[in-house]
């Protein structure tokens, strides 16, 4: 359609759209799913691992989830090389704040700072936008536990539960139905994350090789970020499978006991 308005990012189309930004979001729609859920006593980030090659050396425990500071971690979806650059930037921003104030950066300030950088690439310089969306989880003394999502346009929002990447819309509608505000604790959030991920990933069974998860909690007045190891993940996946099987069996038993009205 308006193809000649595509090549430069710094131009509006006649309909008032920024095509490069939209194409960047397209790119993210093909990337591995990441989802985040806010609980009363912590936050969960879960991500689909796409880099599962037999020959890959497992140096890093996690390749989608990164720690940014003592109190903030993030998960990225999109072009990995862009992600590396922006994660480095995020860490630098966090430490620069610490250099000035000797305190950990409040979560929203970190998000805002990065989003201003992302926005610059949509307005001037003639460079393409970054092809990543980021989910941030963090704790600060002003607003407690927080979950943010930022996209290539430089827009961000605070969320109780959200998803980016492949099949994110399906995941978000599932979260909308299943998430219970004020009643979700960390264990509920972990279970919900597994449930949503297994439905949105295109596999029959969820295993610890396909997924990574991290939690952020407060213990003894300190923020603790834990990247779950494969044993814990396997346990969670198995619990989910058992729960699923149990519900299936209950459903079947119910159907047997009360025959459906359609059969009449």
Using CB under 8 A as the criterion, which residues of the chain lie in contact with other proteins when the complex forms? 99-103, 106, 108-109, 141-142
Please report, to the nearest 10 degrees, the dihedral formed by the alpha carbons of residues 38, 41, 45, 46 taken in order.
-100
Residue number with CB closer to other proteins (29 or 158): 158
Residue number with CB closer to other proteins (39 or 107): 107
Q: Do 194 and 165 form a contact (C-beta atoms < 8 A)?
A: no
From the CB of 102, what's the least distance to other proteins, in Å? Answer: 4
Residue number with CB closer to other proteins (103 or 242): 103
Helices and strands, counts by H and E, the chain: 6, 10
From the CB of 118, what's the least distance to other proteins, in Å? Answer: 18
From the CB of 99, what's the least distance to other proteins, in Å? Answer: 7
Residue number with CB closer to other proteins (53 or 141): 141
Cβ neighbours of residue 78 under 8 Å, at least 6 residues apart? 24, 27, 28, 31, 130, 131, 132, 133, 152, 165
Residue number with CB closer to other proteins (22 or 108): 108
Question: In 14-86, at which residue ranges do the beta strands (DSSP E only) sit?
Answer: 34-39, 42-48, 65-69, 72-78
237 phi/psi in degrees, rounded to 5: -65, -45
From the CB of 113, what's the least distance to other proteins, in Å? Answer: 11
Tokens of 104: 């950990």
Cα 28 from Cα 151, distance rounded (Å): 9
From the CB of 141, what's the least distance to other proteins, in Å? Answer: 6
């Amino acid at each position: 359609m308006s193809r000649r308005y595509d090549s430069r990012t710094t131009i509006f189309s006649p309909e008032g759209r920024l095509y490069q930004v939209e194409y960047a979001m397209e790119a993210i729609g093909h990337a591995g799913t990441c989802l985040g859920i806010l609980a009363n006593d912590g936050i969960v980030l879960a991500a689909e691992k796409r880099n599962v090659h037999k020959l890959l050396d497992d140096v890093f425990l996690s390749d989608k989830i990164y720690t940014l500071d003592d109190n903030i971690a993030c998960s990225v979806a999109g072009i990995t090389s862009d992600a590396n650059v922006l994660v480095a930037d995020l860490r630098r921003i966090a430490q620069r704040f610490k250099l000035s104030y000797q305190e950990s950066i409040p979560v929203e300030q970190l998000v805002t700072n990065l989003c201003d950088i992302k926005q610059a690439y949509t307005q001037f310089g003639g460079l393409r936008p970054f092809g990543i969306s980021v989910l941030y989880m963090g704790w600060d003394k002003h607003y407690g536990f927080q979950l943010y999502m930022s996209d290539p346009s430089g827009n961000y929002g605070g969320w109780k539960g959200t998803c980016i990447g492949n099949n994110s819309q399906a995941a978000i509608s599932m979260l909308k139905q299943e998430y219970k505000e004020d009643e979700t604790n960390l264990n509920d959030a972990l279970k919900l994350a597994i449930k949503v991920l297994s439905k949105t990933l295109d596999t029959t069974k969820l295993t610890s090789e396909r997924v990574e998860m991290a939690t952020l909690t407060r213990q003894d007045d300190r923020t603790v970020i834990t990247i779950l190891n494969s044993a814990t993940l396997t346990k969670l996946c198995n619990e989910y499978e058992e729960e699923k099987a149990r519900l299936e069996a209950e459903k079947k038993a119910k159907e047997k006991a009360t025959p459906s009205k359609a059969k009449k």
